[in-house]
Structure 1
Amino acid sequence: MKHARTHAYPATCQFCHSPIHMSVPTEQDILIVSTEIEHIHRIQADVETDLAILVDKADEVQQELHLEKQQHRQNMHSLKSDIQPTAQHMQQDIEQIAHAEQLHAEYAELIALHARFNKALDDAGQATQNDEKYKPRECFQSDFWYSMNNTIRSILQQCHFQGADTADFSRSSFDVEIAGYSKADEQGKGYCAFLNSVVMLAFHDYLNEQSKHTPGWLLIDTPLHGFDEGIRPLEDSSMKVGLFSYLAKQAVSQQIIIIENTNHMAGIPLDDNINIVEFSKDKHNGRYGYLDGIYDVSDES
């Protein structure tokens, strides 16, 4: 803005009211200032033109950025809908391959373990073949034969068996002998069953005395099978009575089960501590047999 010469310049500052000391501008000063102002106006116009160009460019960039964001979202959607399932499937395949490798390694360990076991069994078999034959009779304690001899003789004496003092327990036959003869050579079938029961009682007595694991019970099947004493002797000399009297004494401290036909029991007194169970072989009368609830096939219907 040009200065109107008709009006004097103010002598004080309109803002702080301080005195202003300046000379009156000349025509040349005014011309310079006017020229500078016009130059500034031209620069301002150029700046405004450049600014408009920049604004348009910014709009273009903003639009391109918007398009790029849309494309990015589309790409991410493609990753999730197309690529991600494939990646998950590949991950599952990798895990399955790893599991298969682990199974393969475990299988290899099992094969190696199997081979070691087979080798150990082969070595054990070879070692067994080289060992001497197992002889269980040599494993008994030194007092076994002496104890069996004494016990068998004692039982036979209590059973009124003639020749009880000549009875011995043979090391070779592992059975009782009477006067040096086997029971089968010198005695009948009934006496063999009788003597078998005596041997079993003696062996059972030894186990009760010496074994760490005492049986505590004994079952004898038909000790009088085929046994015949001829003319019925007196009760105090009967071997049948003596045998069952001995069994009754033994049953005081342990359980002894005797399975015998009732017709063989005639004339044998039984103590009060003996429990008698008769097998009727009748499903509707008494106890059918030794195993409760077990019947012959012919009686099943």
Structure 2
Amino acid sequence: MERTMTELAGLQETEKDVDDQKKEVQEDLRKLKEQRNALESRIKKELRPQESQQINILNSYKSYLRIETEMSLIDSYAEDFGNDLDDLENEQKNDTTTEYHPKEYFSDDFVPTMSEYAQTILKECHYSDLLEATFNFTKFDIMVNGEDKGTSHGKGYRSYLNTVMILMIRKYLANYAKFDPHTFIIDTPLHGFDDGVDEGMPESMRAGLYRYFMNYQDEGQLIIIENLDHIPNLDYEGSGATVTTFEKVDEPSKRYGFLNDVK
């Protein structure tokens, strides 16, 4: 019993020591929590705004460097552009021949070649009363039987010969041009028949012109715009041509004009 009482007293003393240590640890923990809360509060109130501010400063600096680089590049371009303008102005001051004469750049065989094209195209188109077709370099236009296109014929013949002139240029570009546009548009090649002018033109001439269109598609794309009442009755689609008809009808299967959905 005495031994047990002695051990019990020892245990109580030990328990008291443990409680005291526990209280000390709890006090230390409380102080640490206070310190942690204080640190978190400082981070939230002081350091976080400073971090955001530093990030903004860094981004602004990066933007500044980028803008400075771009400005430097623009200044370089501006300087080069200014130098080019100065050089051009100096060249113009020193150059006494500023006029441009394009006819001087044509080769010696241009006129005979164009004259040959005029003769062969009109012959293939069954041009009536054809004796000789030539190219007048001074007027830069076609001549038929020694006359220009406005001398002895009306508006229909002039339109016809204007179309032939375009075909001559197209053929020359296809054969000799360094930069060929490949696309030509002719608006109403039979213009003049709409209002009854030159109605005496043979049907063989009209059909011959359109047959020529179909037979020489390899010389570049040719877009013809013409009234349906005046085009010859030929098999256009059979020759590989695309035929598009414009109708003033508001239907999905019909086309109103050049631009879709525009009336």
Q: Which amino acid in structure 2 is aligned with residue 270 of structure 1?
A: L
Residue in structure 2 matching 1:257, options 223, 237, 242: 223
Aligned-pair CA distance for 1:196: 0.9
Change (3 A) 1:177 1:93: same
Residue 239 in structure 1 maps to residue 205 in structure 2 = yes
Indicate conservation of the 8 Å contact 1:288/1:295, yes or no: no
Q: Which amino acid in structure 1 is aligned with residue 119 of structure 2?
A: R
CA RMSD of aligned residues (A): 4.1
Indicate conservation of the 8 Å contact 2:127/2:205, yes or no: yes
The SS at the match of 1:239 is helix
Q: Which residue of 2 aligns with 1:134?
A: 100
Aligned-pair identity (%): 29
Indicate conservation of the 8 Å contact 1:281/1:289, yes or no: yes
Q: Which residue of 2 aligns with 1:202?
A: 168
Residue 291 in structure 1 maps to residue 254 in structure 2 = no
Residue in structure 2 matching 1:109, options 58, 72, 75: 72
How many angstroms apart in 1 are the aligned matches of 2:83 and 2:89?
Answer: 10
Q: Which residue of 2 aligns with 1:270?
A: 234
After superposition, residues 1-301 of structure 1 pair within 5 angstroms as 102=65, 106=69, 109-110=72-73, 112-126=75-89, 129=92, 130=95, 132-162=98-128, 164-179=130-145, 181-212=147-178, 214-227=180-193, 228-231=197-200, 233=202, 238-251=204-217, 255-265=221-231, 268-271=232-235, 273-274=238-239, 275=241, 276-284=243-251, 287-291=254-258, 293-296=260-263
Q: Which residue of 1 aligns with 2:3?
A: none
How many angstroms apart in 2 are the aligned matches of 1:294 and 1:116?
Answer: 48
Indicate conservation of the 8 Å contact 2:119/2:133, yes or no: yes
Aligned-pair CA distance for 1:188: 1.9
Gaps of 5+ in 1: 1-76, 297-301
Indicate conservation of the 8 Å contact 2:170/2:219, yes or no: no
How many angstroms apart in 1 are the aligned matches of 2:106 and 2:180?
Answer: 16
Q: Which amino acid in structure 1 is aligned with residue 72 of structure 2?
A: E
How many angstroms apart in 1 are the aligned matches of 2:49 and 2:225?
Answer: 80
Indicate conservation of the 8 Å contact 1:280/1:289, yes or no: yes
Aligned length: 218
Indicate conservation of the 8 Å contact 2:133/2:143, yes or no: yes
The SS at the match of 1:277 is coil
Q: Which residue of 2 aligns with 1:62?
A: none
Aligned-pair CA distance for 1:128: 6.0
How many angstroms apart in 2 are the aligned matches of 1:285 and 1:239?
Answer: 37
Aligned-pair CA distance for 1:216: 4.7
Indicate conservation of the 8 Å contact 1:149/1:168, yes or no: yes
Change (3 A) 1:294 1:151: farther
Indicate conservation of the 8 Å contact 2:156/2:198, yes or no: no
Indicate conservation of the 8 Å contact 1:161/1:239, yes or no: yes
How many angstroms apart in 1 are the aligned matches of 2:186 and 2:153?
Answer: 20
Change (3 A) 1:155 1:127: farther
Indicate conservation of the 8 Å contact 1:177/1:183, yes or no: yes
Q: Which amino acid in structure 1 is aligned with residue 137 of structure 2?
A: R
Change (3 A) 1:232 1:113: closer
Aligned-pair CA distance for 1:123: 2.3
Indicate conservation of the 8 Å contact 2:125/2:209, yes or no: yes
How many angstroms apart in 2 are the aligned matches of 1:117 and 1:125?
Answer: 12
Structure number with greater CO (CA < 8 Å, separation at least 6) is 2
Gaps of 5+ in 2: 1-38
Aligned-pair CA distance for 1:109: 2.8
Deviations 1:188-240 (A, max 9, x none): 2211211111011111111222234555554322100104544464x5xx321
The SS at the match of 1:264 is coil
Deviations 1:70-126 (A, max 9, x none): xxxxxxx9xx97998999799779868966884685476346414413422422541
* Greater Cα offset, 255-264 or 121-130: 121-130
Deviations 1:23-76 (A, max 9, x none): xxxxxxxxxxxxxxxxxxxxxxxxxxxxxxxxxxxxxxxxxxxxxxxxxxxxxx
